[in-house]
Amino acid sequence: MNHVNRQWCVGARPVGKPEPSDFTYREVPIAEPGDGEVLLQTLYLGIAPVMRMYMQGLGAVGEAPLSVGDVIHGRGVAKVINSRHPGYMEGDIVQGQLGWQTHKVSRMTPGERFFKVRHHDVSYALSVRMLSMTGLTAWTGFYELGKPKSGETVVVSGAAGGVGHLVVQMARICGCRVIGIAGGPEKCAVVSDLGADAVIDYKNGNVSARMSGLCPDGLDIYYDNVGGEILETCLENLACNARIILCGSISEYARPGKFGLKNYTNLRAANAAMLGYFVYNYLDRFDDCNAQLVEWIKSGQVKPLLDVLDGFDKMPEALMGVYDGKNVGMRCVKVSHP
């Protein structure tokens, strides 16, 4: 097995939630790096809801659409085990576009968006490595687009997820009043423990009624990770000059057809802004974000939640579980031991 590159590929286009038959396992020989290339050994792979979209053949900006049989797109953390590239040495730890595979030969091109991981203290190294792009999403989305002010009311959907649990804590650091939305008593308890002032259980409560009661003067910032009906409910509860950050829409990824907002014109009455967000537009802030994450984690102001499955064979299970709400925090898979 030491000479084999194990891969998970698109087996079929998902219809609804991904199923085991949508994934194909493959083994190929490990390639040797040529001049200007490195051989990477995957340590961890992150799991994100958008991966289903990749499997459907819908490419993100800067990434080619996948065909059936292609290795599934995915970012993760890897170790350089053989280098013929002047900018990388054996032993370097990097984070970038690896795909669902245990090894990769790469020229470390800009399109793969690799970054060296510079923080190696064992007490927080894994947290920073795995939260790097997720942390960048939360940090730049909340601060650059949300522009929070102390005392404002911030609502976060998917508040127990990878991005959401960080935004909850960042809002608390800013002195904001934080309302989290999550599914089920266990996740709501997690969000409460992270410092949320109130939590709405969308699976067991009336979101619209709870939102109206908790936001009598409206919400100032809504960080949206789910889209759909919850986004529509938040648009009914806008304070003047509210900001809506459209980060994710997991409720819509596996929905047949598209969800149509019926009340977007409420933005006009509230003089509010609804802003799209895409993390790759903020890569120039990567090092600043990681440095801030390190500081917050070491000081105890941010508690990173990592939902780690052990073993490369768990990749399909890890992604399928996201659509059933099984993850708490950032879901990732340990592929090999560093």
Task: Provide the 3-class DSSP secondary structure of residue 48.
Answer: coil
Determine the Cα–Cα distance for residues 135 and 185; give it in Å rounded to an integer: 25
Query: Which residue type sits at 28?
Result: V
Distance CA 15, CA 39 (A): 35
pLDDT at 219: 98
Q: What local confidence, expressed as pLDDT, does residue 60 receive?
A: 63
Among 133-137, 140-144, 251-255, 285-289, which stretch is predicted with the lowest mean pLDDT? Answer: 251-255
pLDDT tens-digit profile of 93-124? 898 999 999 999 999 998 888 988 765 554 44
Q: DSSP secondary-structure letter at 90? A: T
- Three-state DSSP class for 254? coil
Rounded Cα distance, 334 and 311, in Å: 6
Q: How confident is the model at residue 40 (pLDDT cuts 50, 70, 90)?
A: very high
| Cα radius of gyration (the chain) | 20
Give the residue carrying structure tokens 């909850």. 168
Residue-by-residue DSSP string for 112-169: G--EE-----TTTHHHHHHHHHHHHHHHHIIIIII---TT-EEEEESTTBTTHHHHHH
Please report the domains of the chain, with CATH numbers, ordered by start residue: 4-121+304-334 (3.90.180.10), 130-280 (3.40.50.720)
**Could you report the per-residue pLDDT of 175-187, keeping only the tens digit for each?**
999 999 999 999 9
Beta bridge partners of 329: 161
User: For 243-249, what is the mean pLDDT?
Assistant: 94
User: How open is the CA angle 43-45-48, to the nearest 5 degrees?
Assistant: 170
Largest CA distance in the chain: 63
Residues 263 and 284 sit within 8 Å (Cβ to Cβ): no
Dihedral sign computed on CA atoms, order 304, 43, 326, 219: positive
Give me the percent of the chain exceeding a pLDDT of 70. Answer: 93
Q: What is the pLDDT of residue 335?
A: 94
Give the tokens for residue 66: 């996948």
* Cβ atoms of residues 147 and 243 within 8 Å: yes
Our measurement of the distance from residue 266's CA atom to the centroid of its chain's CA atoms, rounded to an integer in Å, reads 29
Q: How far apart are CA 52 and CA 75, in angstroms?
A: 14
Provide CB contacts within 8 A for 215, sequence distance 6+. 153, 155, 179, 237, 239
Tell me the C-alpha distance between 309 and 214, whole Å: 36
* Nearest CA among 228, 323, 314, 317 for reference residue 17: 323
